[in-house]
Structure 1
Amino acid sequence: MSGQLLLIDALNLIRRIYAVDSNQNKGSDEQMIITCCARVAHACEKLLKITQATHAIAVFDGDKSWRYHYYKQYKSSRAPMPETLRNSLAKFKHAIEQTGIIVFAPVNDEADDIIATLAHKMAKNQLHSTIVSTDKGFLPSLNNYISVYDYFKKEYLDLNSIHQRFGVEQARLIDFWAMAGDKTNDIPGIKGVGTKTAQDVIAKHADITLAANDESLSPGTRKKLASGMEDYIISKNLVSLRTDINLGFSLKQLRLN
């Protein structure tokens, strides 16, 4: 295989477009869904041109990934998908397929893990891919072969934007989120450790599990690190994307006609 692979985080794209359309909707739900499907299809067509993709796939989420079994509170406070949208997902899938893009909806796996697996398979073979999502969880995967594109801001994300946003280097993002937590996904982090403390500890330590013994840190910080190490490890596992999912299809099957 050669070329450029376009990887679309389908629900991320759809929900953002749906949120705008539903707020502006002055007609029936049926008409709103028709309009929204057309906008999603148009977005996919634009993305094909922007990335000059030769291969493409739009990935949906499965029902319950391993994370829900590993940590019961995972995404527990997140609002459920609007019923109108949930009942219309088949229409969105069809709209995407009409653009020539393959649609994949796993039974259980999250789209993030599927996309990360595909991107890393490409990179391993020195082939390029572009992930389209506003989800920050893809940022640790950014490298010479994997790009991340924000469709709504119309920009590719880079290492400078990561440091400006989080105050740590890309290589330390997983440690940063595992320490400070992630409220949007109900990932706990270390209790009492916020953004600033996480940044300070990361700046001093390559291995966070050893930081509790660092006497240059305040007694309060050392105590939090010592008592919160189990939550740190749980959180680190939750925020780390898997790259070893058994896909059941080959990259060659994603070629655009």
Structure 2
Amino acid sequence: MKPHLLLIDALNLIRRIYAVDVNQKHHSDDQMIEACCARVAHACKKLLNTTNATHAIAVFDGDRSWRYHFYKNYKHSRSPMPQILKDALIHFKTAIEETGIVVFEPINDEADDIITTLSCKAATNNVSNTIVSTDKGFLPHLGQYITIYDYFKKQYLDEHSIKERFGVQQSRLVDFWALAGDKTNDIPGVKGIGIKSAQQLINNYNTVEQALEDKLLSPSIHKKLEANMEMYVISKQLVSLRTDINLGFSLKQLRLS
């Protein structure tokens, strides 16, 4: 049996399930958390079966990643995690571990960077893997050995769905977000460049530098790009997931028993 690595964006899965369960009728908060933990464990078991995984890991976020130090406004407008959920994370970790999946919580790194590093290292060694998340940041890495699965829509994402959603090719997503910004993570992009302008630039030019060299480029767009190249570069770094984190463990340690 060929190895297949399952990579679960743990908080992405938990928070989506919690958002539904918190609105259900329960006798107490403890019962609500217990039911939510059971649903997360059930989801993990289904994912193991759906992907035919031989290896699996669920990754949580560390406290504060390099992005918070690199750009002070990173995720600054995001609502904090509900305290009841924060206090219950230990129970969710236990519920996931009981399914046989390894749980990993880095000290500082974001789950996205850890998962992408693992995924790309596996792909480099011709090991197929599935990332389970609704986070769009993983989409640039979709490829021959890397699949991305939306558990809540029960569908694998592909290049066609990406083009339909963002209006640009998958290979240009990072440049697109660096231009248009990403409001969900408070990444600014280029001031004055909206989604439509970013799509036109991405679809008409191979690079931003090429656009700046085009004498037919709108003077208004040219001025905005030229004045905000520094923020474009910063935004591009922020939206790019790392693939080079030193993990301290190997694929063998993620094998399912």
Which TM-score applies when normalising by structure 1? 0.98
Displacement of 1:25 after TM fit?
Answer: 3.5
Q: Deviations over 1:3-61 (max 9, x none)?
A: 00000000000000000000123321100000000000000000000000000000000
Kindly indicate whether the alpha-carbon contact (under 8 Å) linking 1:133 and 1:150 is maintained by their aligned counterparts in 2.
Answer: yes
Q: What's the CA shift string for 1:108-148, capped at 9, x where partnerless?
A: 00000000000001110111000000000000000010000
CA distance in 2 between counterparts of 1:80 and 1:25 reads 23
Task: Look up the match of 1:61.
Answer: 61
Contact in 2 for aligned 1:209/1:229 (Cα 8 Å): no
Instruction: Name the counterpart of 2:24.
Output: 24
The separation in 2 between residues aligned to 1:242 and 1:118, in whole angstroms, is 10
Letter in 2 for 1:166: F
Deviation at 1:2, TM superposition (A): 4.9
CA deviations over 1:59-86 (Å, ceiling 9, x no partner):
0000000000000100000000000000
- Equivalent position amino acid for 2:180 in 1: A
Counterparts of residues 192-231 of structure 1 (less than 5 Å):
192-231=192-231
Per the alignment, residue 162 of structure 1 pairs with 162
Q: How far apart are 1:204 and its partner, in Å?
A: 1.9
**Alignment match, 1:91:** 91
Aligned length: 257
Show the counterpart of 1:252. 252
What's the CA shift for 1:212? 2.4
Could you tell me whether the CA contact under 8 Å between 1:59 and 1:114 is conserved in 2? Answer: yes
Further displaced range: 100-109 or 196-205: 196-205
Q: Is the 8 A contact 1:17 1:39 kept in 2?
A: yes
2-structure distance, mates of 1:57, 1:218: 48
**Partner residue, 2:189:** 189
Give, in whole Å, the separation in 1 of the partners of 2:27 and 2:201: 53
Distance 2:217 2:27 in 1: 59
The match for 1:147 is 147
Q: Secondary structure at the match of 1:172?
A: helix
Structure 2, unaligned runs of 5 or more = none
In structure 1, the residue matched to 2:108 is 108
Deviations 1:148-173 (A, max 9, x none): 00000000000000000000000000
Cα-Cα RMSD? 1.0
2:196, 2:146 → 1: CA distance? 29
Alpha-carbon distance in 1 for matches of 2:48, 2:5? 10
